[in-house]
Structure 1
Amino acid sequence: MPPVWQYLPLATGRRRVAFYGQVVLALGRVGAGRGSLLGSCFPISSRHLATAMHVVGPSDRNLVALAPMVSGPNDYQDTTQTTSDFFNVKIVAANPLRDVCILEAVGGSAALINYTLTDTDTVSAGSEVQVYGYPHMDFGRRIVTLQNAHIGAKVLIPNNGVKSKHVVINAHMRPGQSGGPVFDVATNSVCAMVTGSYAPDTVGGMTISGVDPTTLHQTSHAISAEYIREMMQ
């Protein structure tokens, strides 16, 4: 059975807010004695985790969730550590139009959570948020990282005629952060989930070291957590 993670208080210069680094897990796929890192996920019930659909794709074959290497805000994470506690997960619900996927822990519990899922209606431009994820995962570094940021805008983004609520976060996100939670600092609740950086539809694009240069701007998108909550209901 996987371990149980709970939040710890994080001291700031103005007040005490929760630190959730030890509940944000990495997703990977194992096979033939090797594994590949995919993205971030976070618990939404005692058995379930949420992530972005594009992180896992349509298959949960050999899909695992890996425990973070941190138990509190003062811990050092060892960049040389290549092993981790993990447990198998399976896809139980998916919404490709909104890029949301719900996973279930196989044969055990995922976590004990001390936060709720709200939505982007509860925040506004200028609201302070905390974003957790694994920004250097595409280089093999499994270091859960906290970013303090602010909401820059609230937008509706269409996909096949379906509009979804998103927020623009004033911070650059990398691929490994997709599927990570966005916490509203005012309420210590998850208001959104990271989906990625905006990239315009262009013809003949290019990548440099696996990065699309059009995404190198100081903003990122996150979808409202209300769609995760609706899928759980």
Structure 2
Amino acid sequence: MNSLLSITTKRGDHMWKWIKRLIGLTFLLVIVLAVFLIPAKVSTQEQFKNVTVNTSLVDLAQEGLSTADVTASGLQTELQLNSPQLRQVIKGMLGEVSDETLLNTAVAMNGDYINVQVPIELGPVETMVSMDFSASVTDQQLTLNLERARLGHLPIPRSLVASKIAEKVNQEGTGATMTENHIQVTLPTSGYQIHSAKVEKGNMVLQIIVPISY
């Protein structure tokens, strides 16, 4: 009987040692993930607070008129915006901005997506939420579709990010609405219309129409 109890006790001790090892390995794995996957910093040169506006969409559209085609709708031209130009156009449209989160946000084009980076802090760890959006335009309505999201370098569900974005976007005065993973913005018209838009190979390609008055 004593031998049986001794064997049972030894088995229990052995199992407890394995459980402690498993807990230790799990804790170590969490630390490794936190150290190597989560930390990331926003590119400072791509933050809106460091963008100087030297051009606007109107300026770019006027420059493109020299190669425009005459159509039934007016003069049609294609513009290709690189990341610095896109940041200037967006900041120019926003006007005076005092929101620190927005000023610290970085925007760039990555392949066929618009990449938006928002810095955050998780305790002592500085990191960011990185989001990739696809873009399209129909009847002066810009639609941004949230395609994927990451916390630092760690992929996270889009729904976690979308709910936070919706709180900001759906406030009065933003001129935008968000439903599920889709943000819709009514584009301003200043003597031109954006017929279509897409992001392709790191550039935003816009089809601009300037109506002709007779």
TM-score tier by shorter-chain length is: under 0.3
TM-score normalized with structure 1 length: 0.22
Bigger-Rg structure (1/2): 2
TM-score normalized with structure 2 length: 0.23
Structure (1/2) with the larger helix percentage: 2
